[in-house]
Amino acid sequence: MSFFKKLKESLSTQTEQVTEKFKGGLSKTRDSFVGAMNELMMEYRTVDEEFFEELEDILIAADVGVNTVMELVDELREEALRRNIKDSVNIQPLITEKLSELLVRSEQETKINMQDGELTVILVVGVNGVGKTTSIGKLANKFKQEGKKVMLAAGDTFRAGAIEQLEVWGERTDVDVIKQQAGSDPAAVMFDAVQKAKSRGADVLLCDTAGRLQNKVNLMKELEKVKRVLTREIPDAPHEVLLVLDATTGQNALSQAKIFKEVTEVTGIVLTKLDGTAKGGIVLAIRNELDIPVKYVGLGESVDDLQEFVAEQYVNGLFADIIEDAEAREESS
């Protein structure tokens, strides 16, 4: 079975609503990237070294990441030679196929590590301004819609207004927020939150944290202390450490991810504002260069626009036109 038929089969098992969300959310990246690809195909009818050099520039401009681009283009050169592809139009499906292979490792890695019948503790980290508190609110709404009892822990006790912002989301989603006064020890907030989450029979505890990067040592100490308190109360906690990144910041998001990966064990990425950027290739750079799965993506402003990341949906949303053309050629041949 060809790559495109497999992709179509996989997409057919998912809802049309999700497919449209990904298509709509990736429209800026698709218009920019596919537009540049089409220009490349018109300029270069045959696959040669100049073609690959131009392709490198297009992928780098889409924020796929220099290291990822170099690896990818080297693979494309070898595969084009092996398959004897000389026409630039015929290499488009191969480019799509190779990009998707970077993302698809296993379906399970993008799932949240939910504890069956026990409290699941999710620590949410990230710098100020990336949409961390908003993402927590949207996750709370999502888990509540799934029938789970959710609570929030206001662990960002330093940023002015952070506790109040989380309380607004608590009211909006009708979930309890465990807080202390501004300037309190975040670890003390987490201890209190775990005790209350247990006593109230919560299924999920979402923990906000301070987003300061100015002093990496302080950040490390604070996160280590918070994790130590959580682990003492629940041996396997936190069950997830989700890093929130702003897709519109491109390579800066990759730099932030590298720092947080150094200071704590990040298990997944929440990539916000993917719908607001023409450089959605950052998903590929994060996955390939940091080996951290993207678990959620922000595809709009509304409360239900934080979507579970599905690699096939991302590939389809980015390359819908190319995929349709390839399918038509397969059927006619």
Residue 103 is part of a domain; what is its CATH number?
1.20.120.140
Same domain, 255 and 218: yes
Residue 2 lies in a domain: no
DSSP assignment of 198-260: HHTT-SEEEE------S-HHHHHHHHHHHHHHHHHHSTT--SEEEEEEEGGGTHHHHHHHHHH
Tokens of 74: 């080297």
Identify the pLDDT of residue 95: 83
206 neighbors 124 (Cβ within 8 angstroms): yes
246 neighbors 273 (Cβ within 8 angstroms): yes
Same domain, 102 and 225: no
Same domain, 318 and 171: no
Same domain, 268 and 121: yes
Tokens of 72: 């990818």
Same domain, 305 and 162: yes
SS3 at position 159: coil
Same domain, 59 and 86: yes
Q: Supply the pTM of this predicted model.
A: 0.88
Same domain, 160 and 65: no
Identify the pLDDT of residue 1: 47
Same domain, 280 and 133: yes
Binding-site residues for GTP sit at 126-133, 208-212, 272-275
Binding-site residues sit at 126-133, 208-212, 272-275
Residue 216 lies in a domain: yes
Same domain, 297 and 321: no
Same domain, 129 and 52: no
238 neighbors 123 (Cβ within 8 angstroms): yes
What CATH number is attached to the domain comprising 222? 3.40.50.300
Same domain, 326 and 247: no
SS3 at position 270: strand
Each residue's pLDDT, cut to its tens digit, for the chain (333 residues) gives 455 566 666 555 566 777 788 888 888 888 888 788 888 888 888 899 999 999 999 888 888 888 889 999 999 999 999 999 988 878 887 887 887 777 766 667 888 999 999 999 999 999 888 999 999 999 999 999 999 999 999 999 988 899 999 999 999 999 999 999 999 999 999 999 999 999 999 999 999 998 876 567 777 788 889 999 999 999 999 999 999 999 888 888 888 888 888 888 999 999 999 888 877 888 888 888 888 889 999 988 888 889 998 887 888 787 766 666 655 655 665
Domain count, the chain: 2
Residue 33 lies in a domain: yes
Identify the pLDDT of residue 94: 84
* Residues forming beta bridges with residue 297, ordered by sequence position: 271, 307
CA distance 160 to 321: 46
How many residues comprise the chain? 333
Range of the structural domain that residue 234 is part of:
108-311
CA distance 249 to 246: 6
Give the CA dihedral 297, 211, 264, 131, nearest 10 degrees.
0
189 neighbors 157 (Cβ within 8 angstroms): yes
Amino acid letter for position 220? M
Host H or E run for residue 308: strand 306-308
- For residue 238, cis peptide bond before it (omega within 30 degrees of 0): yes
Residue 6 lies in a domain: no
Give the other-Cβ count within 10 Å of 99's Cβ. Answer: 23
Tokens of 40: 């490349």
How far from 263 is each of 122, 129, 243, CA to CA, in Å?
17, 19, 12
Residue 1 lies in a domain: no
Query: Tokens 């190319």 appear where?
Result: 322
Identify the pLDDT of residue 28: 87
283 neighbors 100 (Cβ within 8 angstroms): no
Tokens of 246: 């702003």
Same domain, 196 and 289: yes
Residue 7 lies in a domain: no
**Residue 94: alpha-carbon gap to chain centroid:** 24
How far from 241 is each of 53, 126, 263, 285, CA to CA, in Å?
38, 10, 12, 20
Kind of pairing between the strands at 268-272 and 294-298: parallel
**Which of 294, 333, 283 has the alpha carbon at shortest distance from 64?**
283
